[in-house]
Homo-oligomer: A and B are copies of this chain.
Amino acid sequence: MVRAGLTTERVVHAGAELADEAGFDRLTPSELARRLGVQVASLYSHVKNAHDLRTKVALLALDELAGRAAAALAGRAGRDALVAFADVYRDYAREHPGRYAAAQLRLDPETAAASAGPRHAEMMRAILRGYDLTGPDETHAVRLLGSVFHGFVSLEAQGGFDHSSPAAPDSWVRILAALDTLLQDWPRS
């Protein structure tokens, strides 16, 4: 019997590819086993169950995304940093729709805390250092950025901008410009 040489890491990576190609909702043990040329039960040595598989793909995605974002941020500040960071999100979601959808999975608190999630918030705060925001305003702004990035990207992925002009990328550029001016002149209470 020739072995496939599975490890948890390889299973999860194959899962991420499956999610990207077939959609996150088709990321199931049986489909993945088929794709790996292995019996379904064999996966259960590497992954606790279907939900665990999806969680692990989510963690992989969060980590990849954080890595790319950190690289994009290096050596940039202010508007440059804002745009570079935002583009990482959008590009990642377009290249890896299944992984991006996975990253949206609701994680239980401990798992979330141990994930790359907090690094994302941290990086957004770093971007805001290029603007003059302090205290709660900084948090509000972080949340605004998160909302816009996630909102735009998921509406675009969902096809929400498909049947109207101008093209989505135009709006993306203009929206980032608008956010930049808003952050420069943030209205205080």
Contacts and interface: CB of A to CB of B under 8 A. Distances in A.
Interface string A145-189: 011111110110011110111101011001101100110011101
Contacts of A178: 140, 144, 182, 186-187
A153 to B, nearest CB: 8
Count class of interface residues, chain A: 35 or more
Contacts of A137: 174
B175 A147 contact: yes
**Copies of this chain, how many?**
2
Nearest to A160: B146
A166 B135 CA distance: 10
Nearest to A109: B163
Contacts of A150: 151, 154-155
A13 to B, nearest CB: 24
Contacts of A10: none
Contacts of A112: 159
Q: Describe A's contact surface by its main secondary structure.
A: helix
A148 to B, nearest CB: 5
Nearest to A168: B143
A110 B85 CA distance: 35
A152 B158 contact: no
Nearest to A121: B164
Contact of A182 (B104, B146, B149, B182): B182
Nearest to A143: B171
A155 B146 contact: yes
A165 to B, nearest CB: 7
Interface string A66-99: 0000000000000000000000000000000000
